[in-house]
Amino acid sequence: FASYKINEIEQVIDSKNIVSYEMVARKGKREFELEFLSNGKLLKKEEKKKENKEAIGFPNLSPFKKEHLILTT
C-alpha cells in the first residue's frame, strides 16, 4: 500500500491490551479498510465498495434493494 493515500487512522486497544491501528487506504477508485498490529503485521484487509448514489430513487436501475431505501413523505 506504499502508493495509497492513508486517511482516518485510529488506534484500537482491545480487552487484552493489544494495540492495533485501523485506517482507510485510497488509490484512485480503490479503497481498503486495513488493520495492523503495532509490529506492522496485517490483521485485516477489506476492499470497500463504492455505491452509485445517483441510482437511488430509480428501482429498475438501482443497485440497492427496496428494503434498503428509506422513503419519507
Length of the chain: 73
Q: pLDDT of 13-58, one tens digit each?
A: 999 999 999 999 999 889 999 999 999 999 999 998 765 555 455 5
- Nine-digit cell string for 63: 443497485
pLDDT reading at 2 higher than 70: yes
* Higher pLDDT pick, 5 / 54: 5
Mean pLDDT of 51-72: 52
Q: Dihedral sign for Cα 59, 60, 65, 67, please.
A: positive
* Higher pLDDT pick, 55 / 3: 3
pLDDT, residue 60, reads: 53
